[in-house]
Amino acid sequence: MSITIVTGGASGIGRSLAARLAGRGDTVIIADIDAAGAAATAEDLNARSTGKSFPAELDVTDADAVRDLYQRTARDHGRLDLVFNNAGIAVAGLAEELALAHWDRAVDINLKGVIHGVDAAYRIMLEQGHGHIVNTASLAGLFPMPLGIPYTTTKHAVVGLGLALRAEAATRGIKVSTVCPGFVDTGLLKTVNAGLPETGMSSKPGAEDDSGAASKLYSPDAMAADIMKGVARNRALIVAPASGRLAWRVMRLSPRLAVRLGRFAVKGYRKEHGLG
């Protein structure tokens, strides 16, 4: 069974991935900046899975900490087979509402956090001659999504990173896949701009969940199932759900139409918030 690391593994898609990996017998390092969440997830999975789960507190913006965890895992278990660089945050709002702090946070976590994981894992896998790196981007990495361009920018970069590295890595026996989820019912949507200046799209602490809207979102478990299937098939891009694949198809066939659809969303937002 595989020796696996999942960043952002204490919640959302990461937790669902960890559950599936542990369920098939893998050894899973559940890495998250939320140490208590990682520990609780590991305890839960160990109680009901055949695999072994271990929690690890990890800030993916700390390159040294990422390298140390990945190297320690490979050393302690003899190898590192599979890595999910999955940790990320949501940043949203019109460009004129955003401060440089929004850009910096998005780049530090969504892009540099992935780069840190790729760099650490790839060096280990080059030495051992095998492995699979899976980076989480977003549908926003394939479609020109407005109202959150720092997020969209970083996710486009992760897609480019994954596809280019895949071409290099294939000659060394290493696989690289990039995950592009559409709208998934995770806590990410409830922590938009967390710790950052507010915009009209910032999540409000204590706000009631819109259960009707949430019920229309894809579940983390379904997304994890799609990811695992794509990883097994060594897909370059894993895009789900079906509505996400449709949006991707629209973008490939008519970028002009994709941008026009984005304009409708921007107009609605400006009208709702009285921004003219």
Q: How confident is the model at residue 215, as a pLDDT?
A: 61
Backbone angles phi, psi at 7, to 5 degrees: -85, 150
**pLDDT per position as a tens digit, 22-61:** 999 999 999 999 999 999 999 999 999 999 999 999 999 9
Report domain extents, the chain.
Answer: 3-272
3-state secondary structure of 178: strand
Q: How confident is the model at residue 214, as a pLDDT?
A: 56
Q: How confident is the model at residue 189, as a pLDDT?
A: 84
Classify domain 3-272 at the CATH topology level.
Rossmann fold (3.40.50)
151 tagged catalytic: yes
CA 248 to each of CA 10, 126, 237: distance values in angstroms, whole numbers, following the listed order: 29, 32, 11
Counting as low any pLDDT under 50, the low residues of the chain are 208, 210-211
Residue 120: closest CA among 39, 29, 41, 34? 29
Measured distance CA(258)–CA(97) in Å, rounded: 23
**pLDDT per position as a tens digit, 163-197:** 999 999 999 999 999 999 999 999 998 899 999 99
Q: How confident is the model at residue 216, as a pLDDT?
A: 82
Active-site choice (70, 122, 151, 218): 151
